[in-house]
Amino acid sequence: MQRISHPQSKFAVVAVLATAAATACGGGSTDAKGQASLEVYAELQQAGIGGISQMPDGQLIVGYHPFYQTATSTQVALLNADRKSTTPYPAALRQTCRNADGSFVAPINGKYDFCLDWVLGFHTDTNGILWILDSVKSTDKADPVHPRPAALHAKLVGWNTKTNALHKVIDLDASTISESQHNDFAVDLVHNAIVIADEAIGENSAGAGVKAALVVVDLATGSSRRVLQGDVSVLPHTDPIKWEAQAGVPAQSWGLRVGVDGITLDKNSDYLYFAPLSGYRMYRIHMADLLNTALTSTQLSAKVEDYAAKPYNGGLSIDGNNNLYLTEVGGRSVGIIPAGTKVYKRYVTDDKLIWPDGVTYNADGYMYSGAAQLIQTGVFQSNATPPGTANNAPPYRIYRFRPEAAGTPGS
């Protein structure tokens, strides 16, 4: 395992071997936080580390970003003990809804509850239910060779990690629009609800995200509804996504406008925090207000609080002291918005932490994030020679660091 130590420059980093005094779980001093605790925890060969969660015993569950997927790729997996490989999970779910030739498998009883199509977000709740958000790649519907079957809907798959059995499947069709791209979500067991961030950069969106919204799911009834669609708190800014020159990748920008993306819930299930990826502000709202169906759209919008300034970010998490942790997609950093100052600053940085995606708290006391390397994929390499040449390459790293306070494992 590598430890990351830093001289005074906030961008310069040097990787050194962990000392023999490392703790049993692989880290250094338990007093170290932030940059002082940053380390490379795992190095994988499959591309695109995206979301990360955990089993009840703390074993990491790793997601592979769908940008890299083929018809036979693994999407959700357990990190093996060697920290170099993964095992598809859950074993009873097909990791794809396609055959090897790209065609779709046949539904069972008219449904696709047995397979995963396009996974961006997943979290394990405090009851041990792994909730997997299968967004369904909406552009498949228009594919002239293998059009998406009408029965293939976006869905939440609840898998009981304790009994290793399917808990529940919730169909999201009623709250899905043609522009939808459901990205991440927060689980609220106090109110028995899940809130999903819909970036709205799917089919027919032209990458503009103008119909971004939150999707509120009732876990008891399975019903879902769109809220705050069109509100400034979920809509993307018109500025392009920019990234610094890093690890051989020149400074560039991309015109995609991504709506609400990062989303997290405080430990008391009081405030829900959320923000557009393409945006400079963080917002929050009381869950009680978000769930109040008596409020009109205008009244609900008035309940949203403009919380703090931020950079363009993907993943979002929170600790028990309400400090927010953001993956800075344009840099090589996970930043923090402290609850006290509400002023964003970089918290951990590494030259090879290229496009960190998800960030999550684990039972071992660390937060984990992965270098997705999205900006090194061909679609982002317009300035490459020739244009579109992919520069992403293994190893694909998972990092961990100690936050300012403990959080909720799996969130």
pLDDT at 228 over 80: yes
Cα atoms found within 13 Å of the Cα of residue 218, Cβ hemisphere only:
10
Return the CATH number at 367.
2.120.10.30
**For 248-267, how does the pLDDT look when each residue is reduced to its tens digit (9 = 90+)?**
667 888 889 999 999 999 99
Range of the domain at 108: 2-401
pLDDT recorded at residue 99: 92
- HEC sequence for 152-178: CCCEEEEEECCCCEEEEEEECHHHCCC
pLDDT at 122 over 60: yes
pLDDT at 2 over 60: no
Q: How far is the C-alpha of 105 from the C-alpha of 72, rounded, in Å?
A: 12
Query: What are 9's two structure tokens?
Result: 């420059």
The verdict on residue 406 lying in a domain is no
Q: How far is the C-alpha of 282 from the C-alpha of 232, rounded, in Å?
A: 11
Cross-strand partners of 308: 282
Q: How far is the C-alpha of 303 from the C-alpha of 280, rounded, in Å?
A: 19
Residues 6+ apart with CB under 8 A from 20: none
Cross-strand partners of 249: 246
Q: How far is the C-alpha of 253 from the C-alpha of 256, rounded, in Å?
A: 9
pLDDT recorded at residue 108: 97
Q: Structurally, how many domains does the chain consist of?
A: 1
Characterise 123 by phi-psi region: left (phi > 0), alpha (psi -120 to 50), beta (else).
Answer: beta
Kindly report which listed range (20-24, 197-201, 319-323) carries the lowest average pLDDT score: 20-24
The verdict on residue 330 lying in a domain is yes
**Which pairing describes strands 396-401 and 252-254: parallel, antiparallel, or unpaired?**
unpaired
The verdict on residue 193 lying in a domain is yes
Mean pLDDT of 60-88: 92
The verdict on residue 93 lying in a domain is yes
The verdict on residue 411 lying in a domain is no
The verdict on residue 360 lying in a domain is yes
The verdict on residue 84 lying in a domain is yes
Q: How confident is the model at residue 140 (pLDDT cuts 50, 70, 90)?
A: low
H or E stretch at 287: helix 287-290
Look up the pTM and report it: 0.92
The verdict on residue 408 lying in a domain is no
